[in-house]
């Protein structure tokens, strides 16, 4: 995992990571201290007004009987 805190904007990977971490906090999970620091650093660089929910990808798997 590569996080570049010197870039002014979030990369797609960082945006996705921020969205997942924010979702966990929003639903009541307690993040480990290093992840809380990472979340706040990413949020400080995020230029959006609000953090969007993570994108969910559902993959239908055939039933093997």
* Residues in CB range of 41: below 8 A, 6 or more apart: 3, 5
Number of domains in the chain: 1
Summarised one tens digit per residue, pLDDT across range 22-47 is 999 999 999 999 999 999 989 888 88
User: What is the CA 5 to chain-centroid distance, rounded?
Assistant: 15
For residue 52, what are the domain limits? 1-65
How confident is the model over 35-63, as a mean pLDDT?
Answer: 86
Q: What is the pLDDT of residues 11-21, one digit of tens each?
A: 888 889 999 99
- Is there a contact between 21 and 1 (Cβ–Cβ < 8 Å)? no
Tell me the whole-structure pTM to 2 decimals: 0.72
**Which pLDDT belongs to residue 57?**
79
């Amino acid at each position: 995992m590569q996080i570049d805190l010197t870039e002014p904007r979030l990369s797609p990977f960082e945006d996705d990571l921020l969205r997942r971490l924010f979702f966990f906090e929003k639903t009541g999970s307690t993040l480990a201290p290093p992840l809380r620091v990472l979340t706040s650093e990413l949020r400080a660089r995020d230029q959006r007004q609000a953090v969007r929910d993570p994108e969910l990808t559902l993959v239908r798997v055939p039933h093997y009987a």
